[in-house]
Amino acid sequence: MIKNEHQNCGVCQFAPLCIAQPDEKYKYFDSSLPIQRHISLHKGEVLFTPRTPFQSLYAIQSGSIKTTQIEDDGKEIIRNFYFTGDVFGYKALHQGMYLSTATALSESDVCEIDYRTFLSFLEKNHRLQEHAIYTACSHINATAYLHYNSAERRLAAFLLDLSNRLHPNFSKDVLYLPMSRQDIANYLKLTPETISRISTKYIQNKIIAVDKRKITLLHYERLREIAEKGRV
């Protein structure tokens, strides 16, 4: 199947910097960021592993990635989910090496951006260094809802977060989750059983509809109330 390679570049955090950006509004820049290479990943394939020296940032052109770590007690913990348009690797930038494993949750296309090249690119494009710092800062506290005090709040906030991030070109009400319940539970510091029980409760209250990994948000406002108001 032939697809438009640049169809999602408009939502990429690096769009203002990137050579692949076809939009006229970015044409005035001196030069454009050279993408080192495009990487295609099958579901389950690994992009990087812990202790690999940091060299590149990654932008997701399509698909979804999870980053995970193994705790001392042997359990896997999910650090983050990344979707179309997201740029990741900043934590490795600071540590000098990747500390987590990045695994494709679905068929994914990723742009690799060599960090040394990126820096010298910024030196030649002063107007873009601001955007680069801005992008790095967007990762701070992006997941404030993980601190919410109840399972109901965290799951509701997670669904709203996905609604905004998952399918930039599609409906915000119908989510096709690329990750398992186990992954969600892991990310929200809950158990799959708790996820399941709360989902059932939401379904009974006609807040969402669930068909396997297809989630339909039926009552957006109610979901927002649950996420924000805490224990009802």
Partner DNA sequence: CGCCGTATTGAGCGCTCTCAAGCTAGGTGG
Partner DNA sequence: CCACCTAGCTTGAGAGCGCTCAATACGGCG
Position 224 contacts DNA (CB under 7 A): no
132 binds a copy of itself (CB under 8 A): yes
Backbone angles phi, psi at 111, to 5 degrees: -100, 130
- Between CA 169 and CA 59, with CA 143 as vertex, the angle to 5 degrees is 50
Q: Closest approach of Cβ 180 to a copy of itself, in Å?
A: 19
Give residue 220's identity as a one-letter amino acid code. Y
Nearer to a copy of itself, 108 or 125 (CB): 125
Under a CB-based contact definition with an 8 Å cutoff, are residues 149 and 219 in contact? Answer: no
Helices assigned H by DSSP within 89-147: 90-95, 115-124, 126-137
Closest to a copy of itself by CB, 26 or 145: 145
* Site for DNA contains 205 (CB under 7 A): no
- Check binding of 79 to a copy of itself (CB under 8 A): yes
Return the one option of DNA, a copy of itself, none that residue 70 interacts with (CB less than 5 to 8 A, by type): none
Instruction: Tell which residue, 98, 41, 97, has the closest CA to residue 68.
Output: 98
- On whether the CB atoms of residues 54 and 97 are closer than 8 A, the answer is yes
When CB distances are held under 5 to 8 angstroms depending on the partner's kind, the choice from a copy of itself, DNA, none that residue 37 binds is none
Contact of 181 with 173, CB cutoff 8 Å: no
All residues at 6 or more sequence positions from 141 whose CB lies less than 8 Å from its CB, including other chains:
none
| Interaction between residue 138 and DNA (CB under 7 A) | no
Selected binder of DNA within 181, 219, 222, 224 (CB under 7 A): 181
Neighbours of 152 (CB within 10 A): 20
Under rule CB under 7 A, residue 200 binds DNA: yes
Q: Under the criterion CB under 7 A, does residue 51 sit at the interface with DNA?
A: no
Question: Could you say whether residue 4 binds a copy of itself (CB under 8 A)?
Answer: no
What element of type H or E holds 224? helix 220-229
Q: Shortest distance, CB of residue 221 to DNA, whole angstroms?
A: 21
Q: Does 174 bind a copy of itself (CB under 8 A)?
A: no
Calpha distance 105→108 (Å, rounded):
8
71 binds a copy of itself (CB under 8 A): yes
Based on the shown chain and the rule CB under 8 A, indicate whether residue 141 belongs to the binding site for a copy of itself: yes
Residues 91-110 that bind a copy of itself (CB under 8 A): 91, 93-94
Q: Which positions ≥6 away from 220 have C-beta within 8 Å?
A: 160, 163, 173
Of 9 and 195, CB closest to DNA: 195
The contact set with DNA (CB under 7 A) reads 149-152, 180-182, 189-197, 199-200, 210, 212-213, 231
